[in-house]
Amino acid sequence: MTSERSSAIDFENWSCPVPLRDTPQVVMGHGGGGAMSAELVEHLFLPAYGSSVSPGDSAVVPLLGGRIAISTDSYVVKPMFFPGGSIGDLAVNGTINDLAMSGATPLYLSIAFILQEGTPLATVGRIASAVGAAAAAAGVSVVTGDTKVVDNGSGDGVYLNTAGVGVVPEGVTIEPARAAAGDVVIISGDIGVHGIAVMSVREGLEFETSVSSDTAALHSLVAAMLGAGADVHVLRDPTRGGVAASLNEIARSAKVGISLDEPSLPIPASVADACSLLGLDALQVANEGKLLAFVPAESAPLALEAMRGHPLGAGATVIGACVEEHPGMVVARTALGGTRVVNMPIGEQLPRIC
Amino acid sequence: MTSERSSAIDFENWSCPVPLRDTPQVVMGHGGGGAMSAELVEHLFLPAYGSSVSPGDSAVVPLLGGRIAISTDSYVVKPMFFPGGSIGDLAVNGTINDLAMSGATPLYLSIAFILQEGTPLATVGRIASAVGAAAAAAGVSVVTGDTKVVDNGSGDGVYLNTAGVGVVPEGVTIEPARAAAGDVVIISGDIGVHGIAVMSVREGLEFETSVSSDTAALHSLVAAMLGAGADVHVLRDPTRGGVAASLNEIARSAKVGISLDEPSLPIPASVADACSLLGLDALQVANEGKLLAFVPAESAPLALEAMRGHPLGAGATVIGACVEEHPGMVVARTALGGTRVVNMPIGEQLPRIC
């Protein structure tokens, strides 16, 4: 999905081409990873930037006779510390994961802080330490950074941005468009854990739960899968917008249908309970240490074995398959034998979750 | 300036090792590019991240048998549109310039938006168009991006982050530590223009001036200098903290003295007038389209000729030299034959200037 840079868009006298919106203003849903985010990218950013932008979470580009992957993400999670991690962990692991989902070996990270005036330096230090520890654990180098300070009232504690660079091994091409009818859909473990962990400590919502964020760097899990010789078509970490958004994006990109087996979805009771309490759909809740893998049926046993032999894939399980029917749509078969459409989330169930 | 990652810093029970500070909190000066910014990097970020972080504006790292430069910057300039440019121009040109200052050929950019809820989409579109236009003008590809939305009151319109990747040509090593006694210090043109342009439209300060920001991508100017065969030791774009901060950093890094010839400084009358009005030192005012070059005396004619033959270096002029005296210090010789120390700015003269 690329488009030529067009000088025809006159933003000075602009009648908001982003569809379905009542007001020509940014709303929280534009940051939710769902349909509104996609519209903003398609109708505003891509025409403005031109032909070269990758619509995915990382871009694979040629360099020095090889291929590298480049990725960036900002982090605005609130609160900054939550059960199982912090904004610093997310910033490192999230960007590593975006690179890993294109099959790249992550090597280098940049990290930029936007600090609100008045933030305790000890808080900045705790976050920076989390960044350093997560990078060291993942074997990735933080090589450059930046710091900006905004006046009190203009920020909200700490925002982070990480960008990452990795090398894509020769012969590896992992991208959404490769999903094909017959592919098996695997998830590496429990669904919805990160989102619920963050919500459980959010002001006004605090509730008792034993759920901790699953934030983790997944590149070694991917390496295990590729090392085992599995033919991996697509990888995706289902963060903002959850499994529902990721599967819908892949279905549309590859023009295949995706059929989910609802009873197979590994949703822990604690997540299911919290979702009931908050009125959420677990399929739309963010994960920060899980991946979805699309592999041809004949590669599935190999992929599953490799995943289950890795600590971050111990709970790997098949949750569905790609089908020729209903291209572009995700349909779940329920325990009672019925079907329901799993829609692309429109806006944002859980704002500022990452 | 690197340091091993230390687990000895306990930020949970932390007694703020950042020196010279009365309160253990973030203040605007930590974002000013001066002494306080440097202290934060040295005493907080480097120990937290470990040994691999480049203290400079870009990191040069090995990849695929060659060398690449990686850089990142966030942009929080206020207002977002100012005479001569916008936050979108700064985001592209600033990151290109950080790469170019290590001699790299910039190739790829990532761009991340943090949007405040309620920001008009037309504003986002104008900024994104400026990003696209600046990237196209510079021949650099925007390859990936990210969008986050923060609730009203938690942001301030639009913050941008760009990260960039470029290739460092074989044999090129341009870094602050290469400054050596005998080097001539050249600036590519007028000083202080960007900062004054932004201040002239800042709420509460508006004043009449004809000054427009000098925001520009400098990589083609650098290419012209290298193409002419000039032996370039150091390049630096004097942004936050201005010429004063850049020269002090280089003097400390290379342990050389820098002697400035004050009457040679190309400070336009309009900038000098505005600095008088606002009580600023033009040497501390940010530039966004200028570079400082350190070249051995024998290479100076070649470098100056190449710069003056390029539109962005037409005003190139020698402003000083590296000396063996006063290592680590910058001293200006005044028109009257006296001398004054040009200090590293402590905090921030002009907050949120980029």
Tell whether omega for the bond before A79 is within 30 degrees of 0, i.e. cis: yes
pLDDT at B13: 61
Say which amino acid occupies A214: D
CA distance B307 to A216: 49
Q: For residue B13, what are its two tokens?
A: 């029970």
* Residue stretches of chain B with pLDDT short of 50: 1-8, 20
Chain B CB contacts of A119 under 8 Å are: 25-26
Contact between chains at A163 and B70 (C-beta distance less than 8 A): yes
pLDDT in the model for residue B4: 45
SS3 content of chain B, % helix, strand, coil (to 5): 35, 25, 45
Report pLDDT for B191: 98
Residue A251: the pLDDT is: 97
More confident position, B343 or A39: B343
- pLDDT for residue A2: 37
Q: Determine the pLDDT at residue A18.
A: 65
pLDDT value at position A17?
A: 56
Least Cα separation, residue B239 to chain A (angstroms)? 13
Structure tokens at B69: 């430069």
Residue written as tokens 């370039």?
A: B232
Q: What is the pLDDT of residue B51?
A: 65
Q: For residue B154, how many other CB atoms are within 10 A of its CB?
A: 20
Which CATH fold topology does A57-173 show? 60s Ribosomal Protein L30; Chain: A; (3.30.1330)
| Predicted pLDDT at B17 | 56
The mean predicted confidence, pLDDT, of chain A is: 91
CB contact under 8 A, B149 and A31: yes
User: How far B43 CA lies from chain A's nearest CA (Å)?
Assistant: 10
Residue ranges, CATH 3.30.1330.10, chain B: 57-173
pLDDT band at A156 (very low <50, low <70, confident <90, very high): confident
Round to whole Å and give the CA distance between B175 and B67.
14
How many angstroms separate the CA of residue A35 from the nearest CA in chain B? Answer: 13
The complex scores an ipTM of 0.94
- Report the 3 state secondary structure along A21-54: CCCCECCHHHHCCCHHHHHHHHHHHHHHHCCCCC
Minimum-distance CB partner of B74 among A14, A132, A161: A161
CATH 3.90.650.10 domain locations along chain A: 176-341
φ and ψ at B20, to 5 degrees?
70, 10
DSSP strand pairing (B339-341 vs B330-333): antiparallel
- In this prediction, residue A47 has a pLDDT band, given cuts at 50, 70 and 90, of confident
Give the count of beta carbons closer than 10 Å to the beta carbon of residue B270.
18
**For A325-334, what is each residue's pLDDT tens digit?**
999 999 999 9
| Closest to A142 in 3D by CA, of A155, A152, A159, A127 | A127
pLDDT for the residue numbered A238? 97
Q: Are B111 and B87 in contact (CB under 8 A)?
A: no
Q: Answer yes or no: is pLDDT of A218 > 80.
A: yes
Would you state the torsion angle of the CA atoms of residues A285, A288, A294, A295, taken in this order, to the nearest 10 degrees? -140
A262/A191 Cα distance (integer angstroms): 12
pLDDT digits (tens, 9 = 90+) for A71-119: 999 999 999 999 999 999 999 999 999 999 999 999 999 999 999 999 9
In Å, how far is B227's CA from the nearest CA of chain A? Answer: 20
pLDDT confidence of residue A8: 46
Contacts with B147 from chain A: Cβ below 8 Å: 30-31, 37, 40-41, 45
> Which token pair is B185?
């210090």
Comparing CB atoms, the residue among B27, B151, B156 nearest residue A351 is B151
Q: Find, among B75, B72, B113, the residue nearest to B91 by Cα.
A: B75
What do you get for the CA distance between the two ends of chain A, in Å?
25
Residue written as token pair 């990191």: B59
Query: Which residues does chain A have within 8 Å of residue B156's beta carbon, measured at their own beta carbons?
Result: 150, 154-155
Suggest the residue from B40, B67, B77, B161 to mutate for an interface test with chain A (most A CBs closer than 10 A): B161
Q: Which class is domain B176-341? A: alpha beta
Q: Is B37 exposed, middle or buried (0-12, 13-18, 19+ CB in 10 A)?
A: buried
Quick one: A16 exposed, middle or buried, by C-beta within 10 A (0-12, 13-18, 19+)?
Answer: middle
For B63-75, what is each residue's pLDDT tens digit?
A: 999 999 999 999 9
Which residues have C-beta within 8 Å of that of residue B10, sequence separation ≥ 6? none
Q: β-strand A58-63 against A158-167: which pairing, if any?
A: unpaired
What are B279's two structure tokens?
A: 């009580």
pLDDT, tens only, A109-130: 999 999 999 999 889 999 999 9
Question: Which residue of B3, B7, B101, B148 is the best one to mutate when testing the A interface, meaning the one whose CB has the most A CBs within 10 A?
Answer: B148
- Tokens 């021949």 sit at which residue? B139
Task: Give the per-residue pLDDT at B3.
Answer: 40
Q: Given this model, what pLDDT does residue A11 score?
A: 63
A161, A175, A346: best mutation site toward chain B, by most B Cβ within 10 Å?
A161
Chains A–B, number of C-beta pairs less than 8 Å apart: 321
Q: Is B161 close to A161, i.e. CB distance below 8 A?
A: yes
Contacts of B175 (CB under 8 A, 6+ apart): B56, B60, B102, B234
